[in-house]
Structure 1
Amino acid sequence: MTESIHHSGEDAPTPTSVDSEMPQPQSPTDANGLTSRGPRRADVDMPDSSRLDLKDDDGYEEEPILIPQSSHSLLFTEEVCSLSFAFGLGIMVLSFLSLILALLNNLGKGEPGNLLGIPVQVDSSVRGAQYLAIIIGMLLEEEIPQSFYLLRMIPKHSLKQRFSRMKYWQFVLSATIRLMMGYIFISNMFLVIAQASGVLDIFYDMLALQFIQMLDDIAFRLAKIDVFGKRLKIATSRKCFSVVFERPSFRSRKPINILLKSLYFVNLIGLLSGLIVVSVKQIKGEFHCDSLFITFGDDIWEDSIIKLPNGTISTRVLLYSYFNGVYTRNGTHDGLPIYTEQNKLSSTRFERTIPAEIMYCKSEGSWVFLHQNIRKSKSDNDECPWLLRSIETTEYNILDVGGDWSLWAGRFKGGSFSAVCDSCTSDAQCNYHGTCSPTGKCECPENGNYFGNYCEHKKPCPTIRGDWGDTWELRTLNGETWDPRNDTLDSIFIAYDRPIYRYSTGFKMDMPENDAVMLVYTGSRWFGMYFEGIHNRTIEWRSNYSYEFHAFWENAFSQLTRFVSDPTTESTPVAVDMFEITDRGDHYGPMGELTPMRVPRGSGYFQCYERENTPTLSSSTELSF
């Protein structure tokens, strides 16, 4: 940014100045130093507006063509080895470094999938300020127009005619530096505008950038009033800064005129187009995480009220951890994304089961977890029938929501809630057991040594044994026991990212041949679930059941549940404390009377019975018994 004003101050001594070689103007000039010309015949009959747009500038007063009073000008008005040239070079480097550091800092706010660090959403006042700031910023940015103005108005022959010792390549270098600084300014300006989440943030950051761009003007003024010494005062007070250059003919400067105007509007349209793209993506929610991995605490609502598919109202024990798992962005509500629960087999959408949702409710001023068929009371007709909600917040990104969450368990109480973006950016997030794919998903090794969303679970034992002599085996395709000698049985079923075991032998129980007891992970606990007549079911039924399996809707904790584990995040039930449900009733907790299956507490119940010849894991294998 520069000033172009006529300097009429005291002439400084110039014993070695290039000013002393300045010849007198070759053509007659008026009082303002402008070349006098009579109107051409072709201009006489043209309308004033056309003549001003297309021909010479006669008929109105032009601003004198002067060398800008800026430290950048010292790069061509002074000798290369002089102190004043070094001063101009130093200010240029300082300005460049400041703008580049600002640019690197702004770019450093990015992350995979959002390289520019764009906020997931902004309110309407910020969005309006962003578009205004683009226009204001283009008005503030003078370096690009100034560089083209100098190249247009001071051609090589004119500079050499007035100041023979000035090197034209230095003049071009100075203009190029201005051009480069202008584009770095524009890049910074776009980033601070696009990254802003507040109106004042936009204008404060733009003022800071404008200050950096003004360093050359400020340094020149300070040098001119003798702040930096006599030699710099002389260099900044030379007559060359007050000499008026002869205006080139319109024909000679017309190409650069067109280029300058075109470039100015291309820059403006480019910035506005970029901001429009950002705004559209924000409105569509594309800067939000595509999927979340949600973990609830072990909170229990003993008599949750549910609406069954046949329309009847019933009650059921609800463990919030039943709803742990992957939630995928699907649509919007109140302008923010809805995250929809995915199935527990392959983290893809349910076909028939109605999933839970996580969304922002303006009526509550909070992010909430809800399910359309679960209510706090039979007469609950709330607009937003939440079961768990955050503190009141204006955060657009659920990952940025802090504070405690509240849940409903027959009454208000504090709850536990954790959300992480279900994607990876490096192999470290795959626990170095797998590789992070370009799609942001962990790809676990084909040998099946590790499995899970982040390859965090080690290959399980094919057979586990309890302290009571009971043995349990991994279930495979078609309900067979895994056999390392049979190459066709190379996969096991996984639910809630954990393998399923089926009871084999050891208990003293009279169980019909077509029934089965399964060890199933349900989000935070292992349940011993009894399945009546499971072996009479068709393969198609088993396939659909496995795909749609959900611990809450399958009533995992029921009168047929035989035992339950402590809350755990372990990959298998090995070394986890187990409890037999020996009695039920109102005088016990929601899970009944729990009798430890092994003492002392903390010693676990199951041990790995066989550690070799384990199967390959596949999270997409269908549930079979």
Structure 2
Amino acid sequence: ENAVEGWKNNGGRGGGDGGGEDGDDDGDAKSEHSDEEMHELYDDIYSMLFLSYLASSSALYAFLTFALKMMFFSFLIIDLLHGNDPSNFFGAPAGISTMVRVAQFCMLPVAVAMQEDLIGSIFLFNVHYDESVQRDCPAATRFKWQMSSAMRMFDGLYSLFVNFCLLLTSNAVLGLFLNFAALAFLQTVDNVAYELAIQGYLSENIEMTAKLVSEITLPKWGRGIWGILDTVSFVLIFVVITIIWVIVTVKQIRGDFLCQTLSASFGQDLIVDTGITAQENVFSGLYEKAGTLTIGLRAIYQLRRGSDGNPRGYFAYCQRHSYWTYTVTSKQNALDLTADDICAYDLRSSPVPDSFDITDVGPSEWYYRSGGIDNPARDFNLWCSACESDDNCNGGKGTCETHVCICNEGYYGDTCEYGPSSRSGTSRIG
């Protein structure tokens, strides 16, 4: 702790009663720069690290605090990103309401501005190391200035990344604000550690190092490129996260995070007077997402195979009553569907006002229409049947095109599971 002892022997920055000639030297050091050119160190553990020898208890305390904070952030990141599909790296919900989307956008600049360590690091672009600081604190080397500044910057960027991930995964305004409030608490861990140090709850040397932080100043750069680098960096960081947010938002609106192909089995739950025999087999099968078309901000799924003029089935969302529906209509194109068509259903789910993904609705939550009365579904089942590669099509018995298995000649079924040797596999995807 020789750095602290040296400062104590000098009587602090002002020299004090024990200042003597060292106090005069300190005054000479101050005179090298005007007050307008100087900047005090930030009151945090990274400044303590800058002023401490690496083998000292103060440096160890700073390293342990940094490691603890990074561990907390890492726990959150692992929980947020673990198991996410590669096409949805952040684990963003399939869809969100307009109010949540507006709240997310408004919170983007807040997410950057609330990163105290990041903002501090950006401002320090205006400040440069000066070897004269070693007259007051011999341990304050250029290497440790760079190391402590890099650690502070990493802390701020990591915190912003965690905050941004939480923002993207929020599907409710209240949850978004609660996540920000909870993370704000974790961001102050290093500040709490500094307060414990300066108030003397730890060793005397750690306390003296914390007090030394407020006594040291470093010169600022002039008006050149370094003088505006902080503004440029802040704007650049905001632009980068905004671009990423826009990309994720566009994917949500297009329905890229939704299942692209559904398989439906109706059994005896679909009762439609179409004049078609074995009608449950007619409407059971694959339903593909109708591009980027939406009704009530939700995707539309249409029966994949052609119906030769016969009625066609659609899954869509009735915003009027807040439930998913299945509708059989003579309209052959999803573009022609209206909200009235969707709400005049043959099957419907329980009310799910916050649902954007139809596969979130379980089989027991569906009802079929019979004689003007809704009855609990008995045989209906719905699952995601999208393929990702040819291997998903019964081990290569077909090709996967736009998440749908195109079966080779002689094979058929959702995953080409039926054919000359149906024993080769009958597994479903989803």
2:216 is the alignment partner of 1:241: no
Tell me the equivalent position of 2:145.
171
1:15 corresponds to which of 5, 26, 30: 5
| 1:60-102 residue CA offsets vs partner (Å, 9 max, x unmatched) | xx9x622222122232211111222111111111112222232
In 1, Cα distance between equivalents of 2:297 and 2:243: 22
2:352 is the alignment partner of 1:389: no
Q: Percent identity?
A: 22
2:298 is the alignment partner of 1:336: yes
Give the drift of 1:318: 6.2
The 8 Å contact of residues 126 and 199 in structure 1, kept in 2 or not, is answered as yes
Task: Pick closer, same or farther for the CA change 1:235–1:26 going to 2, 3 Å.
Answer: closer
2:184 corresponds to which of 187, 210, 220: 210
In 2, Cα distance between equivalents of 1:398 and 1:77: 58
Task: Pick closer, same or farther for the CA change 1:104–1:427 going to 2, 3 Å.
Answer: farther
Give the drift of 1:280: 2.7
The 8 Å contact of residues 117 and 153 in structure 2, kept in 1 or not, is answered as yes
Aligned to 2:88, the other structure's residue is in SS state coil
In 1, Cα distance between equivalents of 2:404 and 2:304: 16
Tell me the equivalent position of 1:157.
131
In 1, Cα distance between equivalents of 2:323 and 2:221: 67
What does 1:451-470 correspond to in 2, within 5 Å? 452-457=413-418, 459-460=420-421
Tell me the equivalent position of 1:419.
382
In 2, Cα distance between equivalents of 1:133 and 1:290: 31
Give the drift of 1:161: 4.8
2:123 is the alignment partner of 1:135: no
The 8 Å contact of residues 148 and 175 in structure 1, kept in 2 or not, is answered as no
Task: Pick closer, same or farther for the CA change 1:357–1:260 going to 2, 3 Å.
Answer: same
Structure of greater relative contact order (alpha carbons < 8 Å, 6+ residues apart): 2
Can you give the 5+ residue segments of structure 2 that lack an aligned partner in the other structure?
11-21, 332-339
In 1, Cα distance between equivalents of 2:162 and 2:45: 22
In 2, Cα distance between equivalents of 1:437 and 1:16: 73
TM-score, normalised on structure 1? 0.57
Q: Which amino acid aligns with 1:78?
A: S
Can you give the 5+ residue segments of structure 1 that lack an aligned partner in the other structure?
1-12, 37-56, 307-314, 344-348, 375-380, 462-568, 572-625
2:27 corresponds to which of 25, 28, 32: 25
Task: Pick closer, same or farther for the CA change 1:24–1:436 going to 2, 3 Å.
Answer: farther
Give the drift of 1:160: 3.4
Give the drift of 1:274: 2.0
In 2, Cα distance between equivalents of 1:75 and 1:111: 40
Which structure's CA Rg is the greater one? 1
The 8 Å contact of residues 148 and 256 in structure 1, kept in 2 or not, is answered as no
Q: Which amino acid aligns with 1:160?
A: Q
The 8 Å contact of residues 289 and 421 in structure 1, kept in 2 or not, is answered as yes
The 8 Å contact of residues 367 and 398 in structure 1, kept in 2 or not, is answered as yes
The 8 Å contact of residues 109 and 116 in structure 1, kept in 2 or not, is answered as no
In 2, Cα distance between equivalents of 1:15 and 1:195: 50
2:34 is the alignment partner of 1:35: yes
Q: Which moved more, 1:281-290 or 1:74-83?
A: 281-290
Give the drift of 1:214: 1.5
- May I ask how many residue pairs the two structures share in their alignment? 398
2:273 is the alignment partner of 1:305: yes
The 8 Å contact of residues 399 and 420 in structure 1, kept in 2 or not, is answered as yes
The 8 Å contact of residues 366 and 391 in structure 1, kept in 2 or not, is answered as yes
Q: Which amino acid aligns with 2:126?
A: R
What does 1:534-553 correspond to in 2, within 5 Å? none
Give the drift of 1:134: 0.9
2:175 corresponds to which of 185, 201, 204: 201
Task: Pick closer, same or farther for the CA change 1:105–1:28 going to 2, 3 Å.
Answer: closer
Tell me the equivalent position of 1:277.
247
Aligned to 2:27, the other structure's residue is in SS state coil
Q: Which amino acid aligns with 1:389?
A: R
| 1:517-574 residue CA offsets vs partner (Å, 9 max, x unmatched) | xxxxxxxxxxxxxxxxxxxxxxxxxxxxxxxxxxxxxxxxxxxxxxxxxxxx999xxx
Give the drift of 1:165: 3.2
Q: Which amino acid aligns with 1:412?
A: D
Give the drift of 1:453: 2.9
In 1, Cα distance between equivalents of 2:342 and 2:417: 39
Task: Pick closer, same or farther for the CA change 1:19–1:298 going to 2, 3 Å.
Answer: farther
2:361 is the alignment partner of 1:401: yes
In 1, Cα distance between equivalents of 2:51 and 2:8: 8
2:231 is the alignment partner of 1:261: yes
Task: Pick closer, same or farther for the CA change 1:267–1:350 going to 2, 3 Å.
Answer: farther
In 2, Cα distance between equivalents of 1:79 and 1:116: 40
The 8 Å contact of residues 399 and 405 in structure 2, kept in 1 or not, is answered as yes
Aligned to 2:217, the other structure's residue is in SS state coil
Q: Which amino acid aligns with 2:359?
A: L
In 2, Cα distance between equivalents of 1:249 and 1:280: 42
